[in-house]
Amino acid sequence: MTMGRSTIAGAAGFIVVAAIGPWMPPWLVSLATIAFANALVVLGLIVLWRTGLVPFGQALFYAIGAYAVALIGRYTPIRDVFVVILAGAVCAGLAAYAIGFLLARYREIFFAMLSLAMSMILYGVLVNTESLGSTDGFHVEAGTFLGYRPDGIWLNLSIYWLVLGCSAVLAWLVSLYFRSVAGALSNPIRDNEIRVEYLGISVDRLIHLKLVVSGILAGVGGVLAALAIQHVDPAMAYWTTSGSFVFVTILAGAGSVAAAFVGSLAFELFRSLAVDIMPGLWQMMLGTALLLTILFLPEGLGSLLGRLRGRWGKAS
Amino acid sequence: MLTVFAIVTDGLVYAAYLFLVAVGLTLIFGVMKILNVTHGSFYAFGAYGAATAAGIWYDKGLPDAGGFLFMILLAMAIGIVIGAVLERGILRFVYGRDEVVVVLVTYAAFLILEDVIVLIWGPRSYAAYQPMVAAGSIDVGDLTLSNYDIGLVVLAAAVAAIGVWALKHTRYGRLLAVVIFDREAAAAFGINVTVVYTVTFIIGAMLGALGGAVMAPKISITLGIGVEVIVLAFAVVAIGGMGSIEGALIGALIVGISRAAAVHLLPQLELFVIYAVMTLVLAFRPYGLFSQVQPRKI
């Protein structure tokens, strides 16, 4: 019953956030669009993190999704956002599937490092390939929505709603996945792989599956970010991009699906606030926030909510 | 033939640079099992410190030879201070947490230190070319080699030799071997693991700063130089096997030579080749060339 309730609460949350869109200031719409697109990548990281895996190269799939849209816009007449999202998801998923054969054998730091190396290979390729825009990247054509071609403020709002829609659907699918047998085995794998193997379950294959799931999520995140920013560049594959995704994951905690979205929004707000107040020192503020989170809120911001709920529960 | 010679010499110089930045990283990982992202900051602080030292020294018109020594000493002193502050001030509170969480702590410290650099040295870039110019160059066949580069290779070889010797034949080195093998057993036998950790981290930080100081004359010292170094050093250490000095040496040679080959034969592959080599090595030797066998925990 509680599961059903959280699904309804999630759906209601997305509807409310979508409904207030037209009344939000334009900067907030853009910020929330990017935040929710990035939240999908974070959701993918949470899928892996529940197994104890932290990839430092998730920007690889993010960049693959983003470049897929950009290239489709450049070389084909296809502009429909739903088609390009699907294309980006398929590209990222296939890349994750291929890399998974290598990556699924690794754990802990080695997993993190190898995934980092993969994303840096893509970065190197992008920087050195003139036809892919080299260091400058290139412009992404504005998308159409099943033939509808919005412009001006409506383009931003349409993308905002598109991102929210994708987020809602994917968040629901991921929460289903967490409740499936494969998802439920995450924590046991983290605790003790060999025991899971003794149950007759292939841990490598489960991790391979998780990689594909997280790759697809990151790919869709990349597509949506590219559509929102209307520009792609190699920095999307650089390790600092991956670093900020991991950062948000720590900030949010792996407790729930909602944490990814709240955490990502909080991160973007905090970052633009930090850049606003202290333009030269925003990295220091981010670093301090990360440090304080790790030291004092080891389970992430999500756990704060749980703790408050616990306190209220006792009081009533 | 000339190309082959150029590849080998360029490769050796680049390998020397890679080894000098990677050795501190591998030492800290080997002993403390911490993948230290802050290593990039140590490098950057070393380079900036060396530039400041060069400014002070050469403005006064003091003799060239001492200037380089002063740069190195100041950089290493900075490394010692930052290393001590970081280990005592932050890291000791997270020992025992997940390895990945500790990586993130060092990542947070790295972000903070990036801005500390801006606070101290400002956003402008620095140069400390004087030692490089003073060293001059020699002609070998048709190639002109910088004496400074040759010195770099010698220094890297010396650091490697001293490192291996110190680990195998000094009292502190043997204590380290015990701590690496089993931290709790070492503590039970009366080894002060806390002190060993602190000293190791400070030595690692000092080596990182040394790497920055010796590279300072060859590069433009500007914001963000630490970022690139981190991934490069990670790649070298991963190829060699994390925590092994011999591994870092071999890793640096492999990466150095293959990058030099790429630069001379297929320049567009330059960035790509380092990580491709790393992936290739890890595909066959998942934990690097010189990795130790890990027992399975049931």
The DSSP H or E segment spanning B100 is: helix B99-121
What CA–CA distance (Å, rounded) separates B276 from A117? 8
Tokens of B79: 């490394």
Cα angle A280, A282, A286 (rounded to 5 degrees) comes to: 155
Characterise B221 by phi-psi region: left (phi > 0), alpha (psi -120 to 50), beta (else): beta
Going by C-alpha positions, the residue among B266, B147, B295, B124 that lies closest to residue B218 is B147
For residue A219, give every residue at least 6 positions away whose Cβ sits within 8 Å of its Cβ, in sequence order, or none: A61, A62, A64, A65, A68, A88, A89, A91, A92, A93, A95, A96
- Per-residue model confidence as pLDDT tens digits over A211-225: 999 999 999 998 888
Whether the pLDDT of residue A257 is over 70: the answer is yes
Nearest by CB to residue A128, choosing from B93, B119, B272, is B272
Residues of A in contact with B296 (CB under 8 A): 194
State the sign of the Cα–Cα–Cα–Cα dihedral B12, A113, A111, B179. Answer: positive
Number of residues that this document lists for chain B = 298
Are residues B22 and B237 in contact, defined by beta-carbon separation less than 8 angstroms? yes
Preferred mutation among A283, A286, A288, A299 to probe B, highest tally of B CBs within 10 A = A283
Check residue A54 and give its pLDDT: 83
A145 strand-pairing partners: A148
A284 and B103 within 8 Å at the Cβ level: the answer is no
Task: Chain B: give the shortest CA distance to residue A51, in Å.
Answer: 12
Query: Which strand (E) or helix (H) includes residue A231?
Result: strand A231-232
Is residue A69's pLDDT more than 50? yes
- Residue B171, both tokens: 């009292």
Residues of A numbered 178-237 whose beta carbons fall under 8 angstroms of chain B's beta carbons: which are they? 192, 194-195
Question: Which DSSP category does B157 fall into?
Answer: H
Reduced to 3 states (helix: H, G, I; strand: E, B; else coil), residue A144 is strand
| CA dist., res. A270 & res. A289, Å (int) | 9
Give yes or no for residue A109 having a pLDDT over 80: no
For chain B, the straight-line distance linking the first and the last C-alpha, in angstroms and rounded, comes to 55
Q: Would an 8 Å CB–CB cutoff place B279 in contact with chain A?
A: yes
Q: Which residue of B has its CA nearest to A248?
A: B104
CA nearest B276 in A: which residue? A121
Which residues of A fall within a CB distance of 8 Å from B287?
110
In 3D, which of B106, B76, B78 has the Cα closest to residue B93?
A: B106
Residues paired with A139 in a beta bridge: A231
Q: Work out the minimum CA distance from B70 to partner chain A, whole angstroms.
A: 30
User: Does residue A279 sit at the B interface (CB-CB below 8 Å)?
Assistant: no
Task: Report yes or no: A229 and A140 within 8 Å, Cβ to Cβ.
Answer: yes
Task: Please state, in angstroms and rounded to a whole number, the distance separating the CA atoms of residues A167 and A174.
Answer: 10
Contact A85, A113 (CB under 8 A): no
Higher pLDDT, A143 or A295: A295
> Inter-chain contact A194–B298, Cβ cutoff 8 Å?
yes
- Model confidence band, residue A1 (pLDDT cutoffs 50, 70, 90): very low
Judge whether B112 is closer than 8 Å to chain A, CB to CB: yes
b or e along A34-55 (b: 16 or more beta carbons within 10 Å of the residue's beta carbon)? bbbbbbbbbbbbbbbbbbbbbb
Query: Whole-angstrom Cα distance, residue A139 to residue A133?
Result: 9
Element of type H or E holding B143: strand B143-146
A117 touches chain B (CB under 8 A): yes
From chain A, pick out residues whose CB is under 8 angstroms from the CB of B227: 239-240
* Residue A277 touches partner B, C-beta closer than 8 Å: no
Residues in Cβ contact with B104 at an 8 Å cutoff, skipping those fewer than 6 apart = A246, A247, A250, A290, A294
Q: Look at B275 and A286 and tell me if their CB atoms are within 8 Å.
A: no
* A294's tokens: 């790790």
Say if the Cβ atoms of A243 and B103 lie within 8 Å. Answer: no
Q: Which residue has the tokens 């190791």?
A: B200
**Tell me, what's the pLDDT at B164?**
87
Angle (nearest 5°) at CA B99 between B94 and B102: 40
Backbone angles phi and psi of B139, in degrees to 5: -95, 130
Q: At residue A238, what are phi and psi to the nearest 5 degrees?
A: -75, 155
Residue of A106, A124, A250 lying closest to B272 (CB–CB): A124
Q: Say how many CA atoms lie within 13 Å of B56 toward its Cβ.
A: 12
The list of chain B residues with pLDDT below 50 reads: none
Q: Which residues contact B138 (CB under 8 A, 6 or more apart)?
A: B144, B145, B147, B150
* Contact: A284, B111; criterion CB under 8 Å: yes
**Model pTM?**
0.83
Would you state the pLDDT for residue B42? 92
Classified as helix, coil or strand, A21 is helix
When pLDDT is cut at 50, 70 and 90, the band that residue A309 belongs to is low
Tell me how close the Cα of B102 comes to any Cα of chain A, in angstroms: 9
Closest CA to A205 of A76, A289, A103, A77: A103
The pLDDT value recorded for residue B202 is: 92
The two structure tokens encoding residue A10: 């999630």
How far apart are the CA of B129 and the nearest CA of chain A, in angstroms?
28
Sketch out chain B's domains with CATH numbers.
Answer: 2-284 (1.10.3470)
Query: Do the Cβ atoms of A178 and A44 come closer than 8 Å?
Result: no
pLDDT category, A315, cuts 50, 70, 90?
A: very low
A316 pLDDT band, cuts 50/70/90, is very low
Can you tell me whether residue A43 is helix, strand or coil? helix
Largest CA distance in chain B: 66
Per-residue pLDDT, A310: 65
Q: Taking CB atoms and an 8 Å cut-off, how many pairs form between chains A and B?
A: 124
User: B14-35: buried (b, 16+ CB within 10 Å) or exposed (e) per residue?
Assistant: bbbbbbbbbbbbbbbbbbbbbb
Q: What is the pLDDT of residue B183?
A: 80
pLDDT (tens digit, 9 = 90+) per residue, B97-143?
777 788 888 888 988 888 888 888 878 888 777 777 777 777 777 77
d(CA B97, CA A191): 14
**For residue B129, what are the CA distances in angstroms to A217, B8, B45, B54, B224?**
48, 24, 17, 9, 19
Biggest CA pair distance of chain A: 64
Q: What is the CATH number of domain A23-315?
A: 1.10.3470
Residue spans per domain, chain A: 23-315
Mean pLDDT of the residues in chain A = 80
